[in-house]
Structure formats: C-alpha cells, structure tokens
Structure 1
C-alpha cells in the first residue's frame, strides 16, 4: 500500500484505515475552510497532519513529505502562475482588454451579442484569473445590455461561461496546471484537448443556456454603475489608469497576438511531439524549448511589455511597477497550490493512491468518472475549484501511471470539470456575481450556479466519449 521510494511515511495498513484517514482529513479541510473560515493554506497543512496521524505515519517524517510536495508544486506551477499574473496585469492596465471588447462588439448585432460576449470572455480568459476577468468584463456586460436593450442575463451568462470554462479546463490557469503537474500530463496535449472540449461546452453553457437562465431569473434592474465589490481593484487606481490610457492604447492585432503567443507555442510543441517524435531532431528540440510553459509565458510577458505597455504610453518605470503589482495578489494562490501539493504528496506517501487504484480496479470505475466525481464532492463541500482540483488530482494520481498521453490529459480535464460543479453560497465567486448583477440568492442559484453545473456536466459528457477515440 505504500508509494515506492524513501519518502514513504507508513508501514502497510489496511484499506479501511486508509479510507478513514482520507475521509477524516478531507472532512477536516472542509470544516476548517467552510465553518472555521481558516485560510485554505492552513487547512490543507493541518489536513495533511491529520491524514498522516490517522494512517499511522511517523510524524517526524511528515514534514519532509509535505515539504517535498510543496516545493515541487511551487517550483513547477508557482512560476507559471506568476508569469500569467504579469501578463494579465499588463493586459488590464494597458487597455488591451477594452480594445478586444470594443473591436468585437463593433462587429456584432443584437442577435450575435451573446456570442460576441462569449468570444470576448474566452479571449480574455486565456491569460486572466477568473476574478480579474469578472472585474474587467462586468462593466462591458452592463454597457452592452443597456445599448442593445437586452436582458443582462442574456449577455452576462455567456461572458461568465467563457471565463469559467477557461478557468477550469485550460492551462495556464492554476487548477489545470496543478492537475497537469500532479498527474504528470503533457501540457501541450492537455491544452489542445482542453480547447477542444471548451468550445462546445462554452456554446452550450453560454449563449444557449443564457436564454434559459433569462426566463428562470426574470427581468433585472441594471445597476447604475459597475462598482466593484469589496476586495477588487481600487476605483481611484482604475480611474487614474483610464485617464492615462485615453490617448494611447495598443492595437487589436498586437493584443490578440500577445494573448495567443503562449497558446501557439505550447500547441506547436504538442504537435511536434506527435508528428516529429524524434527528440534528436533540431526542429523538435527548438519547439520543445520555446513551447515549454515557462519559456512560452515568459516570451508572452516580454512581448507584452512592448505590445501592451509601451504601446499604451507606459514608461519603463510604469511597466516595472505594473509587473511588480501583479505578484502581490497571487501570493495566497501560490501558497494554496503549494499546500495542495504537500497534501497530495502525503496522500501518495501513506499509500492512499495505491489503495484508490485497487478500489477503482475492483469496482470497475472509470478513472475519468472517478476523478470528476471526487472533484465534485470537494467542490460542493469547500466551494473552491482550486482546492477541489488539487485534492482530487492527488487522490487519483496513481491511476494515471499506466495511461496514454491523451488519456492522462483527459483525466486532468475530468478533474477540472468536476471542480466547477454547482457553485453556491460557500464560493466567493457566487457572491461576486450576485453583487455585480444585483440578484437575489435564488436568482444567482438559477443563473450562475446552474451555469456552472451545465459546464461541469457537459464537459464530462464530452470527455468520456472522446476517451474512446483518442
């Protein structure tokens, strides 16, 4: 029942004791986050201690196991989260997000506006964290609803769906990145399959479901202004940034090229691995280097300093300040992700992963369905998509050992899909959407929560048959 290697924490114990250890540890994490309101970093750390103790692990070895998982995860994922935050901040402060919105909306009529909002959200969702994307998109949603005399839900749901689908299924967002690392998946293949699943999922959960949600919610009174809720970007800072951008803004082509550069580089690496399949070929070595996530995102950030920052009239000092300010808000995310890596390593070292493999084989449960279901349960309990992804990926990681490259990538997507299931009152995103749109709790459940559930169910419904083909 133990993971191979010197890091193993415990002598072999029965499956029943391991199951009890997992249930108690996850239950403790859920209670600490939802009831005690403890920071997820601390909750995951304490959950790891409880897991090791109940499983009979020597506690003096726990710190080494947890630190190993924490360090490995932060090393592989933390750098990418930081670079993604830099690119997102440059996009927001330079006016690049506004350029994309203005250009797409200028080419859209009343019937195509919901589809245009889904497209805008998907483009902005590639480099931006979900909360930042919401802050940027909501004013656009309200403006479009007023100008087009459309129900706000009809254009708002496609926008939220675009952000959420990308957040849950497509790297370089934190959840998919953590799952890629935990399951040892190929990032380029995961990105390609993630986009393949994301497009039809967005169509169904966005413009199509938006019309259904519009009937369920009924008419809403549009807020007079898109004032940000507590904790979002300071309004005086936004006003100052807007005034500085009146004369200088980057071009649409430059913004789009900067956003899509890391995607193109990573997809190029994935294609080279499939088509060339020769590690000694010069072309493949080059594509493997520039298509690695670190180099691809680094290139996008450096390009963004020119195409976004300099094009917006930023001085070198302003660009440096923008990049610096992007890192402070993600410190909490990096620590949560790191603690999740520590918890994952503890799960592996006490033998939980091997036990899960044994249970899944004995019960003939699909690894994809199991990963999705575990993520769903943790999402419902904690409200955090990231915590759900981290924990579920750690539990099912041994199942990926014998999988093909494409099936491992699909397991990443299955876990990500489960992590989006039914956002409700224990999720910060639920309250963010409720306050921005001025909805009641019931209306938010009928629109936002239902939309998240549609995304999760549609995504896994596409992933399972796709696993029979690839």
Structure 2
C-alpha cells in the first residue's frame, strides 16, 4: 500500500504522530495494557485520525503486520529452535567456555561483540540475534551481573553491521540511489561500523550494565537449574565439540554469504541471470532457508545424543511456545510503522526537513533520523532518505568517497532512537526480559550512541577530506 495523499496539513500529521507515540507509551508503561493490544489499538486509532479511508484501514493494518511477520516469524522460530538445541545439548556452554578461554573472563562481553561483528557481516540483525541468543545467555548466566553487559555488545554488533555495511539492504539501496560505488561504501562502512561499535556500544554497555540491573531471563530456553539442563536432555559427556558448534553457527552465515556473492555477480552481469544452478544456490542462501537447513543438520548432529527423534521434537516444541508473544508484538510494531508510512506521516516529516538549508551531510542525518522516529524501520529510513537527497547529491557532483560518507550519515540517522515502532526494539525487549521503560533506557540509548558515533566519524572524515582537498 503506497502512502496516500495527505488529507491533513504537515503540522497536523506531525502532531498525530507525536500523540500516537505518547498514547502508546502511556498505555504500555502506565496503564499496563499488554504491548500487543496497545500496538494494535494505537495503530487503528492513528490510521483513522490520519485520514486513511475507513474501508482501507484493515488493509493498512494488515500490510505492516504481515510484512513484518513474513520477515521475522520464520527467522525467530528457526533460530530459537536451533538455540534450544544448542542450549540443551551443552553446545552453547562449550562455545562460551572456548570464547572465554581465548579472551579471558574480563573480556567476555568484548568477545561476544567481536563474534557478532564477524557473523553480522552477511546475516541480518534479527537472524543473528536469535542464533546468538543462547550463547549470550549462557555467558551471562555463568559470570552473573546484569545481562546488559553481555547482550548489548552482541546485539549492537549485529545492529552496526546491519545498518552500515553492504551487503545489507539498507546501505546497498542507499548507495545505488546516490550513484555510489558499493565496494567503496563497504571499505568505508567496515571501519565505521567497528569504531562506532566500540565507542557507541562497547563502552556504553559498561556504563549501562553498571547502572541498570537486568536478570538473565530463562523463559525462552527453560529453567536450566544453574546452567545444567535436565539429565534426559544432555549429560556432560554428550556435549558437542567446539568445532561442531562453530560449524553450526557458521553454516547459515556461509549459505547467506553465498547468496549475497551470487546475487552481486548476477547484478553485475558476471553470471548469467536465469542459470538453474545459480538460482538453486541462491535459494539455499535465502535467510529462512539457510536457517532451516542449519536446523535440520543440528537435529541430525545434536539430536542423536538426546535420544529418539520424539525427544528432540519435544525439545523443539518447548522452544516455540514462549516466543509466540515475541512474534506477535514484533508484528504489531510493524503494523504501527506501516500505518505511519501509509498515512503519509513519514513523507510529511521528511518534506518538512528537506529544504531547511542544512549542509548536505547534516541534512541526510536529520532526515534519516526523522524517518526512523516516525516509522521505525532503519532500512526504510535509509532508502527513503537516499531517494529524497539523490537530486541534491547529483547536483553537487560528489565523488565516490563523499557519497560513501553520505551513506554512513544516513545509516547513522536510521539507527538512532529505536523505540516502540521498531520491531528490533521488541525483539531485544522480550528476548532479554526487559520491560518497555528499561528497554528505552538501555537499548534506545545504546542505538542512539551507536548512530551518533557513526555520524561523528562521517563528519570528521568529511572535514579531513575537505581540508586535504
């Protein structure tokens, strides 16, 4: 559903958006209405208030909900089942022990973050987080303290790579819209992501972890009785080796990377489009398919020591029940963001900022930030902002390096201020057992410092290039 022609003025639409977010926070944090019900109710009220024709309101609600579930539900389901197998068979403990042994106990959060940066190169934020979840929780359970010490560096690593580095769709689409060189954007994006992760995530997570105590949740993977599952699910001698666990984690990354490389070759014309073998390999690298294949391999490799296939099925079934709420709330968050887009609120917001006379780099950041706040999706904010400033970029005649810095600035704006209309906000909230207020004080703050760090790096590089030039 394309954004409709607004029936209200820009000022009115912005007031509606602000009132919708305020009402949502009030219902969730003060009234204590369930987040799923609150999101659906506010989405409905916002659609009507914004002037969407009453006959089109159901379609507007369903579009964002369905689109979000279509991209998240399979990833979360397959990822949590894989995580449950890793947890109950001792694989997560083996990986955690090895990582801590290599980096040391004091650097456990750093080790998790570095691993997330590496694995986050080919894999989307949602998929990476659900695959890594049992490892994060196992390490946090072992060393104690607030789970934020361990969760934020890893989640922030996936977020940084997803927003800033090709082949993720946001920076790729923005680079194409601006006429940039994807290879150069990659070369600029990787150090920007790593440095901004360390400054805006790693250091900030230490500050937040020391001030906000969040217990390690056990609901997603069952009570582990101090880190040891029930005897019929695993025993110490049945724990898989580090190599097996690492291979299972790398398998979806490699399959997805294969898909990315082949897609790039096809788009560049180096490989003929329509080749049956290439299309089959690309299918294997589709994110849900890659996770499904990995899960089936994990069942074969990890399930055998746990006994019969029926026992393995019981383990997987136990993993699915607790995540129903996560999936529904995430879908409802997508519904709210979809209503904001369909109503024209996002367009009104960017239109009001496009002609304020700011420098191009600052304008890119501000517009992306406004879009991020208005509709939640970082990818949508990236692609839409790039389209809005593309003409100005072409008129300025910028070289590839400056275009890459513009993409970084857009990505930075598309990262900050994650809140209740962002599906990632709800994944982090529910996976790590935080209420909405705590998530705003931690995840939202960390996403903002991550984005501001990336923007600062882009600004410094822009200034240095101007001085040298």
TM-score by length of 2: 0.69
* 8 Å Cα contact 2:417-2:447 kept in structure 1: no
Query: How far is 1:57 from its partner?
Result: 2.7
User: Once the two structures are superposed, what CA deviation does each residue of 1:195-248 show, in whole Å capped at 9, x if it has no partner?
Assistant: 7655444444677668x859x969xxxx9xx98568574245964436732120
1:296 to 290, 295, 300: 290
Matched, 1:253 2:246: no
Q: 1:41-190 to 2 correspondence within 5 Å? A: 41-108=36-103, 115-116=110-111, 118-119=113-114, 126-128=128-130, 134-142=136-144, 159-166=150-157, 168-169=159-160
- Please give the secondary structure, in 1, of the residue aligned with 2:237: coil
Cα distance between partner residues in 2 of 1:464 and 1:305: 48
Residue 307 of structure 1: aligned partner: 301
Query: How far is 1:356 from its partner?
Result: 2.7
Cα distance between partner residues in 2 of 1:169 and 1:26: 25
Q: 1:370-409 to 2 correspondence within 5 Å? A: 370-372=367-369, 389-390=376-377, 398-399=384-385, 401=387
Query: How far is 1:284 from its partner?
Result: 3.9
Residue 260 of structure 2: aligned partner: 270
Residue 279 of structure 2: aligned partner: 285
Say what the alpha-carbon RMSD is for the aligned residues.
5.0
Query: How far is 1:101 from its partner?
Result: 1.7
* 8 Å Cα contact 1:194-1:413 kept in structure 2: no
Query: How far is 1:122 from its partner?
Result: 6.5
- Please give the secondary structure, in 1, of the residue aligned with 2:294: helix
* 8 Å Cα contact 1:353-1:398 kept in structure 2: no
Query: How far is 1:340 from its partner?
Result: 2.3
Cα distance between partner residues in 2 of 1:264 and 1:246: 29
Cα distance between partner residues in 2 of 1:357 and 1:465: 25
CA 105–54 in structure 1, closer or farther in 2 if over 3 Å, else same: closer
CA 45–102 in structure 1, closer or farther in 2 if over 3 Å, else same: same
Cα distance between partner residues in 2 of 1:23 and 1:217: 32
Cα distance between partner residues in 1 of 2:140 and 2:93: 12
Query: How far is 1:77 from its partner?
Result: 2.5
TM-score by length of 1: 0.68
Matched, 1:241 2:241: no
- Structure 1 alignment gaps of length 5 or more: 143-151, 379-387, 422-426, 435-440
Residue 353 of structure 2: aligned partner: 360
Query: How far is 1:29 from its partner?
Result: 1.3
Residue 400 of structure 2: aligned partner: none
Residue 383 of structure 1: aligned partner: none
Residue 418 of structure 2: aligned partner: 419
Query: How far is 1:297 from its partner?
Result: 1.3
CA 459–231 in structure 1, closer or farther in 2 if over 3 Å, else same: farther
CA 280–246 in structure 1, closer or farther in 2 if over 3 Å, else same: same
CA 343–412 in structure 1, closer or farther in 2 if over 3 Å, else same: farther
Number of matched pairs: 413
- Please give the secondary structure, in 1, of the residue aligned with 2:238: coil
* 8 Å Cα contact 2:223-2:229 kept in structure 1: no
Residue 425 of structure 2: aligned partner: none
Residue 438 of structure 1: aligned partner: none
Cα distance between partner residues in 2 of 1:269 and 1:290: 7
- Please give the secondary structure, in 2, of the residue aligned with 1:28: helix
- Please give the secondary structure, in 2, of the residue aligned with 1:13: coil
Residue 149 of structure 1: aligned partner: none
Cα distance between partner residues in 2 of 1:193 and 1:314: 49
- Structure 2 alignment gaps of length 5 or more: 121-127, 176-181, 391-402, 421-427
CA 160–354 in structure 1, closer or farther in 2 if over 3 Å, else same: closer
* 8 Å Cα contact 1:133-1:163 kept in structure 2: no
Cα distance between partner residues in 1 of 2:188 and 2:292: 23
